[in-house]
Amino acid sequence: MNIVAELTVKALHAHAGTAWPHYHEALITACRKAPPPFGTRSYGEIYRDAAMNPWWMALIQMNIAEIRTRVHHLLQRPMLLAHCAPERRRRLARVLDALLLDETRHIAYTAALIEEFACSGEAELVKRLMQERLSDFNAITNEDLGRNVFESV
Ligand SMILES: [Fe+2]
């Protein structure tokens, strides 16, 4: 089994045991047919190298990734609600509200730590790293867009 699928299935086991067989099968098959680059040894080596500087990745990169996830939630919301059966819309809206709040909390975890670091006399470094990492992130995102990764099948 692909390592990304394996790690995810193991992590989910604590939540749902062996439930969700269709989801598991879909994830395992997708990862076999399109192995995620972030599951490769070389990606891991590059990532770990970069993460030797904790401010490179551990906080700022995670913070930016959470911001992007939150924006995805905002973008998806109207479409998800529109596709939902009217009698289930209120329930879905509550689930989406909870997910959005989770993402906001995820941003807040790292934002608070970044703020603490900035207040220790590193405000300029934080500003510079935030710009550099956002620029890297934008380059990756633009590459994804160029390959039409969001195109549906
Ligand atoms: Fe998140």
Of 113, 105, 18, nearest in space to 67 by CA? 105
CA–CA gap between residue 86 and residue 73 (Å, rounded)? 20
Q: What does the domain layout of the chain look like in residue ranges?
A: 1-49, 51-148
The alpha carbon of 107 and the centre of ligand 1 are apart by a number of angstroms equal to 7
Helix (H) / strand (E) containing 9 = helix 3-16
pLDDT digits (tens, 9 = 90+) for 28-84: 999 999 888 778 888 777 777 766 766 665 788 888 889 989 999 999 999 999 999
In a 10 Å sphere around its CB, with 0-12 CB exposed, 13-18 middle and 19+ buried, how is residue 87 labelled?
exposed
pLDDT digits (tens, 9 = 90+) for 89-108: 999 999 999 999 999 999 99
The alpha carbon of 106 and the centre of ligand 1 are apart by a number of angstroms equal to 5
pTM of the predicted structure, to 2 decimals: 0.68
The alpha carbon of 98 and the centre of ligand 1 are apart by a number of angstroms equal to 12
Neighbours of ion ligand 1 (CB under 5 A): 66, 69, 103, 106
Helix (H) / strand (E) containing 64 = helix 60-83
